[in-house]
Structure 1
């Protein structure tokens, strides 16, 4: 390059200075929303509300045919589910307001009460279905599934005990006692009713709580090995469980479409029929007594058939929003109990949803766990709503969230006051005959 060319390039650079990034530049709207202390709160409330509404709609669609066939109103199951939602709103809203100190004081009592309730499955009050004895008859036609409330009580108790022993968890004895024996007792009480699915959820939520609490990984390794051995023994001890695993592996029911894999096959046929946009809400065929538990464990298949791939992806997106909201609470909250309990509830709700969906699409053997907030059922719905109410309370008490909620309330109050003053001015003006403002 000649000296003349160098001077020309320098002149062009001077006339067209290179743009530089402004250090004081404000962040974009997405970064502002994501960093807001109330984002977790709105994600949890919004996703929970939409899943509940979707559940009511799909329970109505998937249960109407069987209800009519049983001589009942097509709205009978839907109305029951709506009643359970209204009942569940009471403990859910209360849980959003109860301070964390209440859970610290009452966690042990709640756990003992849930264990006593679960022990009722060994009494004449027990009721069974599908080989599982999970329900307890209370009065009239009301039955309760105590194992659902063990999930809730165990999640709260683990958060409480991990908070109390926070500085001692580096020692394996303090890390394992009393958490591991209590978790084992809870799982054994549930397995006593032959409910392997709920027992698996209990172990999953316990693992999430202990992991966030910082339990040494060697304890996880020993516990995981013991659980695998026990699960194998438990499965091979009953012919029906062996048949389910064989059907899942494709070694059974090849020549018998009405055999053990009947439910999974019809679930897959429903999902395949739905295509991209579905056959239309209410127009599904599998719910016409082809697919057992269409409004319960296999409601995801009905969603896929009637709402298509779009509907199933929306369900996955809503559960993803729930999961992200709970992970935000775990990362941002300052209280150990809030983090540990939220981790337990996250593994419970999201893990159970993934297991349910995995069963429907054939990735897992038929276990028998409902889709949280969507499937029909009272005990599971009320327990899940109460658990999410607790997490929503933790989201409300994230650093900065309470102040923003209080400020929002002040804005609303000021707006109401302004509207009231305007109405009074208009009223006085009308009384004066010619008043104006």
Structure 2
């Protein structure tokens, strides 16, 4: 019995002996290039994680849903920032206009339009592009009828601009609705023309002639700023539609001559232009008042600003501080950081619009998006250029930020149309649905844990 068991214990003892770390490393052959498995085990996961992160970023940027999030996110943030700044900048003006009754009149009016326009824009963003295209002719006829009301007793004048109408308790600016209708109508007409746009006759009829009719009515009301935006809108649509560069050269020469004539033919415009060219001679309490105080507000703000609500320029020193010159109040209260935030948001919006133009296969979508982009981004650049003093004073609000009901409603509606286009980009619906499902799964995991945490608490 003993002689049998001893060999068994001797045979099984080496199997029970643990293998040392040193032995394992010696037994492992080195990889090619002299790198051992122990060395590569520490570096490979890190490099792999960096490669995975880079791939994820590239996939996110190239996703069809990125255009939708860029346009929608920047629009929402600009709208919220605008409401906050209108509340801050308009209190003193509201007290003055209401005889001291309330400091919130202008803010409540802006909030009312935002509460109406935001759901409308959301509803428009759910429409298919083909339905929007079918409504183009109805929209242009309705906008023309609204625009013609400036020739009726319903018209009224504000700040030398007679392009306003009074309907019931509300004042409206028909030119804002004309910009929206014109952008969609040009997209429908120019997309139908296609290759025929190489000929002058097909460019002029009916696109340029109809746009010229709207432009003539706007100029009749002495609103040169809106006329310039309409020209940019039409130019963007024609460019993306494929109109030859030679036609643009001829049109640009004619438009430049017309704008120069309009600028010098009006005493008010000529004086503003002269005060811009020689600001040291401008009356500091007249035409030089707004440019001087706008730059003063921007300079006072510094890097981080004097604080929200702390502006001194809004105490009736800066006319239209809650409207055309709200960018100066942003610079004063939020500083350089606040103004850079506005520029970044408009830059993100421009990138989203450009992506839709480049990636969408429908010519109607491309042309309409280009027209809307030239309108909104061009107006923002002109407004900011006026405030910082690189352009003469032109009465244009900052889109989505300045106070103004008509401009806010039409701008949000236009961006709702662009969101509808972004949703129809090939693969966008699937990408958006996948992200929504991912969010729902995350919430489904988080909610029970939060509930159990509250129960334990």
TM over 0.5: yes
Match of 1:135?
164
Q: Does residue 179 of the first structure (1) align with residue 207 of the second (2)?
A: yes
Q: Does residue 307 of the first structure (1) align with residue 334 of the second (2)?
A: yes
Kindly indicate whether the alpha-carbon contact (under 8 Å) linking 2:279 and 2:288 is maintained by their aligned counterparts in 1.
Answer: no
Q: Does residue 249 of the first structure (1) align with residue 277 of the second (2)?
A: yes
Superposed counterparts of 1:27-46, under 5 Å: 27-46=54-73
Alpha-carbon distance in 2 for matches of 1:207, 1:307: 35
- Offset from partner CA, 1:41-79 (integer Å, 9 cap, x none): 111111111101100110011001121233231122111
Measured on the aligned residues, the alpha-carbon RMSD in Å equals 2.5
Structure 2 runs not aligned, ≥5 long: 1-31, 37-46, 453-457
Structure 2 counterpart of 1:394, from 403, 410, 421: 421
Match of 2:363?
336
Superposed counterparts of 1:61-72, under 5 Å: 61-69=88-96, 70-72=99-101
Normalising to structure 1: TM-score of the pair?
A: 0.88
Match of 2:82?
55
Alpha-carbon distance in 2 for matches of 1:331, 1:195: 33
Alpha-carbon distance in 1 for matches of 2:445, 2:276: 65
Task: Give the drift of 1:415.
Answer: 7.8
SS of the aligned residue for 1:127 comes to strand
- Offset from partner CA, 1:324-381 (integer Å, 9 cap, x none): 0000100111111111100111111100000000011111111100000000010000
Q: Does residue 195 of the first structure (1) align with residue 223 of the second (2)?
A: yes
Kindly indicate whether the alpha-carbon contact (under 8 Å) linking 1:67 and 1:73 is maintained by their aligned counterparts in 2.
Answer: yes
Kindly indicate whether the alpha-carbon contact (under 8 Å) linking 1:345 and 1:387 is maintained by their aligned counterparts in 2.
Answer: yes
Q: Does residue 95 of the first structure (1) align with residue 95 of the second (2)?
A: no
Shift of the 251–276 alpha-carbon distance from structure 1 to 2, 3 Å rule, reads closer
Q: Which moved more, 1:271-280 or 1:105-114?
A: 105-114
Match of 2:237?
209
Task: Give the drift of 1:36.
Answer: 1.0
Aligned length: 406
Normalising to structure 2: TM-score of the pair?
A: 0.84
Shift of the 29–226 alpha-carbon distance from structure 1 to 2, 3 Å rule, reads same
Q: Does residue 316 of the first structure (1) align with residue 316 of the second (2)?
A: no
Shift of the 418–320 alpha-carbon distance from structure 1 to 2, 3 Å rule, reads closer
Shift of the 176–416 alpha-carbon distance from structure 1 to 2, 3 Å rule, reads same
Task: Give the drift of 1:119.
Answer: 1.1
Alpha-carbon distance in 2 for matches of 1:417, 1:46: 24
Match of 1:266?
293
Structure of larger gyration radius: 2
Match of 1:284?
311
Alpha-carbon distance in 2 for matches of 1:232, 1:410: 56
Task: Give the drift of 1:251.
Answer: 5.9
- Offset from partner CA, 1:237-280 (integer Å, 9 cap, x none): 211110000011016744x3112121111101110111111111
Task: Give the drift of 1:92.
Answer: 0.5
Kindly indicate whether the alpha-carbon contact (under 8 Å) linking 1:121 and 1:135 is maintained by their aligned counterparts in 2.
Answer: yes
Kindly indicate whether the alpha-carbon contact (under 8 Å) linking 2:379 and 2:398 is maintained by their aligned counterparts in 1.
Answer: yes
Match of 1:7?
none
Structure 1 runs not aligned, ≥5 long: 1-12, 427-437
Match of 1:111?
140
Kindly indicate whether the alpha-carbon contact (under 8 Å) linking 1:326 and 1:346 is maintained by their aligned counterparts in 2.
Answer: yes
Structure 2 counterpart of 1:83, from 103, 106, 112: 112
Task: Give the drift of 1:172.
Answer: 3.0
Structure 2 counterpart of 1:125, from 147, 154, 168: 154
SS of the aligned residue for 1:178 comes to helix
Superposed counterparts of 1:353-432, under 5 Å: 353-410=380-437
Kindly indicate whether the alpha-carbon contact (under 8 Å) linking 1:243 and 1:252 is maintained by their aligned counterparts in 2.
Answer: no
